[in-house]
Structures are given as C-alpha cells and as structure tokens.
Structure 1
Amino acid sequence: MSAWLVGWAFGEIQAATELLNPSENSPSLFMAAWITGWTLGGIYVVSTIIWQLAGREIITLDSTTFEHRLEALGLGWSRRYALAEIKHLRVTEYARASFANQSAWAPPLIGSGHGPLAFDYGAKTLRIGSALEEAEARLLLAQLEARLPRRLDED
C-alpha cells in the first residue's frame, strides 16, 4: 500500500493541478468528482497503514459498562455497551490464513467489527480483537470472565 501511495500522490497532484488551472477543454465537473473519489481512496489507504503500524483495540470494564476503544496515534473512538445487555460472550472460529481475512488489516469503522471474540448485543453479534489468534482470544475471554459480575456465556 505504501508503494501504491506514490502513484496515488502523482495522480492527486496532476488532477488538482488540472482542476485549479483548467484549459478550455478540461472536464471540470468530471475532474471535481474524480478527485473527490481519489482523495477518499487515499485517505482510506493512509488510515489503513496507520492502523497497521500504530492501531490498537482497548477493552475497559467497570461494574456496568464494557467499553471497546479503537485507537491509533492517540486518536480514536469508543463504543460502550451495558453489561446487563451483553449475552453469550465467546470465542468464535476465525480465519487467520495469510489473505483469508484481509478485513483485519483495516480498522472496523462500520458494522459489527471483526475478530474472534464475539458477543450478542440486542439483535447484533459484535466481534472484537481483530489481531488476536484464537488461543489469545481464549486467554482474553478467561481474563474478562474473571472480572465480570456474572458469566456472559450462559445467557
């Protein structure tokens, strides 16, 4: 992806130059739409590289809340879940072959996330721990269960 960014930067500079200094035959509307999509693609790739180099998932528990934070370079967002609403905390099978689960390479920005540690919350199944192997997820599950006020795998 880093090598791809070199080509991306060349395209971005060329398109921006064309848009800012149009000739009579320049398709300005097309260039504006193209550079918007091109820029969004570049932002996605840069954020993916940052996630791969400095991203982390942080789990925090208190007596009523389970918090899952995604963070890279000190910036991130948290999702909080009421412990009373979490059901069936478990480790699921997770494909970790080289290219089988490429979604783990990028932060889970939308949806239920990805990873081998799962739990049901309302009508959704949420997954966390994208960098964990199955054995690591089992160790984390044991640590979480030891700190939870009730067992969440029995509901």
Structure 2
Amino acid sequence: MSAMEGRLYTVERTPRGVRVTIPAQREWLAIAWIGACAVIWGVIEIVTARQLLAGRDPEEGAAAFLVMWLALWSTGGIILFSTLAWHLVGREVITITDRSWTYRAEAFGLGRTKVYHAIAVKNLRALPYDPPPLFTQRSWPLPPVLGGGQGPLAFDYGSRIVRFGPSLDTSQAMRLVRALEDA
C-alpha cells in the first residue's frame, strides 16, 4: 500500500514492514537567513582558528581564552549547520515491523536512530501540538537530528510519551495515524 499527502508524508509497505517518511518543512526565508548566518559564522571561525594557530597574540592568557571561545563557537556552528541541513534535506523515517519501531531523523544521510520494541509501543495517536513560537519546526527549530521530541504524532512507550513529526500539524497527523491503521 502506498499513500501520499503532497510532500507532507509518505506511507509505504516494504518487505521489511511499513515505512513512513516525513520530510522537514522547507521554509525558504529561514533557509536564506540561516545560510547567511552560517557564512558569517564560518568566516569568524576560520579567522579565529588562524589567529590561534599563528600564535601571534601577545597577551598572556589570550590563547586559553581563544581555545575556550572557539570550542563554544564551534558547538554553536554545529547547531547552526545542522539546522540548515535539516531545513534543506531533513526527514524523519519511521519503520514499523512486527518486532520494532525504528525512528530515524536524518539530513544528508547523517542523523540519529532510536529503536523501540514493538510490544512496548502502545496508543499511536495525534496530540494537539501548539509549539512555542521560537523553537519549533515552523520557525527556528532545533532539528530532530539534535534531539527533537516534539510534534503532534505520539505513542506510549512504557511510562514515556514519544513525540515526533514536527513538520505536521495536528490534522495532518490524524490523517497519518488513520493511514497507518489501514496499512
């Protein structure tokens, strides 16, 4: 079976089970802004690294400060470039088999995977999803490749609620749940 709702998601039956693919929402204004920030970020990173490696700083303790600053700046750069990659080509892939539910958030083939025992997965549903305006897929997200745990799709796993699908709204998530029940 294969169902598709525009670019919002695909549901397909494969020899391994059912696979759901939810691409990241493409927000071109955010992509342009993040891209411009990434260029500036990269230039500052290179200039600082060159200054540190050249060893021309005459002040005592300045090298230690630059090392700490560069480490923090690089961490911010990883978050920034991951967010840009997520907006460009990110996707969530959920594979459901008799034995497991595998969740993968990836961009350019890099990402993180979590495996859940199918017997412990209960109550797949769509929950109301009214995210805060600054840290969501719909504005300035922390992409699921860096953590996630947000979105209108949810299931119970033991005593936890696992959430995903931040690029979907609640009604789209309800349609996806129905499509999975039919698969």
Into which bin does the TM-score normalised by the smaller protein fall?
0.7 to 0.9
Q: Which has the higher contact order (CA 8 A, sep 6+)?
A: 2
**How many angstroms does 1:9 deviate by?**
2.2
| Alpha carbons of structure 1 residues 127 and 101: separation in structure 2 relative to 1, 3 Å | farther
Report the counterpart of residue 102 of structure 1 in structure 2: 135
**Superposition RMSD in Å:** 1.9
Task: Give the counterpart of 1:93 among 100, 103, 128.
Answer: 128
Percentage identity across paired residues of the two chains: 38
Question: Which structure's residues are more often strand, by fraction?
Answer: 2
TM-score, length basis structure 2 = 0.71
Mapped partners of 2:37, 2:106: distance in 1: 24
Report the AA paired with residue 13 of structure 1: I
Report the counterpart of residue 93 of structure 2 in structure 1: 58
CA contact under 8 A between 1:115 and 1:129: conserved in structure 2? Answer: yes
Report the counterpart of residue 153 of structure 1 in structure 2: none
**How many angstroms does 1:146 deviate by?**
2.8
Determine whether 1:143 maps to 2:179.
Answer: yes
Summarize deviations over 1:1-25 as a string: whole Å, max 9, x none: 2222232123212211221122321
Determine whether 1:21 maps to 2:54.
Answer: yes
Summarize deviations over 1:30-53 as a string: whole Å, max 9, x none: 000000111111111011000011
CA contact under 8 A between 1:119 and 1:125: conserved in structure 2? Answer: yes
Determine whether 1:124 maps to 2:160.
Answer: yes
Report the counterpart of residue 103 of structure 2 in structure 1: 68
Which structure 1 residue ranges, 4+ long, deviate > 3 Å from structure 2?
none
Structure 1 SS opposite 2:92: strand
TM-score, length basis structure 1 = 0.83
* Structure 1 unmatched ranges of 5 or more: 148-155
CA contact under 8 A between 1:52 and 1:106: conserved in structure 2? Answer: no
Structure 1 SS opposite 2:136: helix
Mapped partners of 1:3, 1:91: distance in 2: 35
**How many angstroms does 1:101 deviate by?**
5.7
Determine whether 1:3 maps to 2:39.
Answer: no
Determine whether 1:35 maps to 2:82.
Answer: no
With 45-54 and 85-94 compared, the bigger mean Cα shift is at: 85-94
